[in-house]
Structure 1
């Protein structure tokens, strides 16, 4: 039947599917507001979705919204790479599931793509402020059960992580999505486990980046690459993300710009700003004084 309906209605059905998968619920008004359709058209879309996937959703008359059922199986195929990118940019249009226009743009290959259902469970937990029980495989201790309180999905340029409070270590940490093999949503977390208590996430630090004084023969080219003003780029990043950005951009973080090589085109001029940053060891050349 999906092959016989219009593109516009297929998109709306994909949006219902998307919301059920990643949010766990959807109001009828969400669909109406997102696509600017009338109440009767929105009702028809939900009725058609129920006809196509009757075991995917149930209506709660008290909350006046549809919820994902335990038997839920996506009606559409949601591409993991593109969905993660859209989630990171707060886009949820359902287009991925029905065949977006493919633009001739390529990106470097990343490591293994996370399981879309693992991502969906974590996003549900974040949106609904819930803890999760997971099976996680770490480099140091192997596979084991952990209880996490996730608050953000993070792209570090190479892998996707979830930023979460870890009840085992009693600290906020980053967990690689591809190392999570099972997610079960649990109860509501304590205040000290939530995002606002994650000081490294909430704290913004200034970075002053300039063309590398030893490796770059024509600094104007680097200034143009990064849109620098007055020969420098001033940005603020979350303390928890600083190391990732500096490694991704190959920023020389030594005190006197001593890293040599064409890959080091930027130098961190105010390296002292990293003194109180945790997990900064991955920043190129950085050593605590």
Structure 2
């Protein structure tokens, strides 16, 4: 988490040096409203702290990343840069018309979650209280009431869930926020100790490979696309989130699509982890 002003400036230095190939005093002047002397001082501070990262190029009047460039404040995920350049990073300096690149953003429909739902959930989570909720699952659309103990919010990639202890199921369950109705009502403190959330606490690894029915060239394209090592992608995850991750990657664990180009990826170690997947 980037907190201090200096860290924010170092973050932008690394972001532009890594993804655009250069950083100048002008960038820092523009985004942080600094004078040229101040901007130069920030770059010097960065070089003092991380002397192997940047080298000055007089002909380009820019600082360039060295071959040993190994950032401290950014990841190597291109999404971090694209979120910034498209104006989607909210906690750091925003790219504006001067530096933005042409882009388009797909905006899925918003899920209907009322503040009247969220407020009791947040209060309950902070106060360790039980709540009675009205929940309409697709498998049980009758919206039967149940008493839960909210634990945490979880973003599964497509939507937000509430992970909670469910007294009716006597187990931890994930509740889609947009399927809660009405206003949850408090049922007081949960007096006993909740059971361990084993699925949440257990770490597993998903082993993903290209569908072997694809041609060698098609498999090679996927191996390059996902940066696989030895033809395999290993994804560590909490057991409770494994099924959501597979859904996000469009990996069908029940049956192979008849068209391998549609399937693309398969789960190699399904037998090893099947006890953690939804049935």
Relative to the length of structure 1, the TM-score reads 0.53
Q: Tell me what 1:189 maps to.
A: 190
Contact 1:209/1:266 (CA < 8 Å) preserved in 2? yes
Contact 2:206/2:269 (CA < 8 Å) preserved in 1? yes
Contact 1:153/1:160 (CA < 8 Å) preserved in 2? yes
Larger Rg: 2
Q: Tell me what 1:80 maps to.
A: none
Q: Shift of residue 240 of structure 1?
A: 1.8
Q: Tell me what 1:115 maps to.
A: 114
Q: Shift of residue 148 of structure 1?
A: 0.7
Shift of the 214–278 alpha-carbon distance from structure 1 to 2, 3 Å rule, reads: closer
Q: Tell me what 1:202 maps to.
A: 201
- Secondary structure of 1:230 counterpart: coil
1:146 aligns with 2:141: no
Distance 1:178 1:254 in 2: 26
Q: Shift of residue 117 of structure 1?
A: 4.1
Q: Shift of residue 92 of structure 1?
A: 9.9
- Secondary structure of 1:276 counterpart: helix
Q: Shift of residue 141 of structure 1?
A: 5.3
Q: Shift of residue 252 of structure 1?
A: 4.5
Distance 1:130 1:92 in 2: 32
Q: Shift of residue 211 of structure 1?
A: 1.6
How many pairs are equivalent?
Answer: 183
Contact 1:205/1:273 (CA < 8 Å) preserved in 2? no
Q: Shift of residue 238 of structure 1?
A: 1.8
Structure 2, unmatched stretches of 5+, are 1-88
Q: Tell me what 2:234 maps to.
A: 234
Q: Shift of residue 269 of structure 1?
A: 1.2
Deviations 1:209-230 (A, max 9, x none): 1122213642232223323222
- List aligned pairs for 1:212-227, cutoff 5 A: 212-215=211-214, 217-227=217-227
Q: Tell me what 1:106 maps to.
A: 105
Distance 2:168 2:266 in 1: 37
Shift of the 184–215 alpha-carbon distance from structure 1 to 2, 3 Å rule, reads: farther
Deviations 1:222-258 (A, max 9, x none): 2233232222111122222211211221224369x67
- Secondary structure of 1:247 counterpart: helix
Distance 2:187 2:208 in 1: 43
Structure 1, unmatched stretches of 5+, are 1-90, 282-289
Q: Tell me what 2:132 maps to.
A: 133
Q: Tell me what 1:167 maps to.
A: 167
Superposition CA RMSD, Å: 3.4
Q: Tell me what 1:247 maps to.
A: 247
Contact 1:110/1:158 (CA < 8 Å) preserved in 2? no
Relative to the length of structure 2, the TM-score reads 0.55
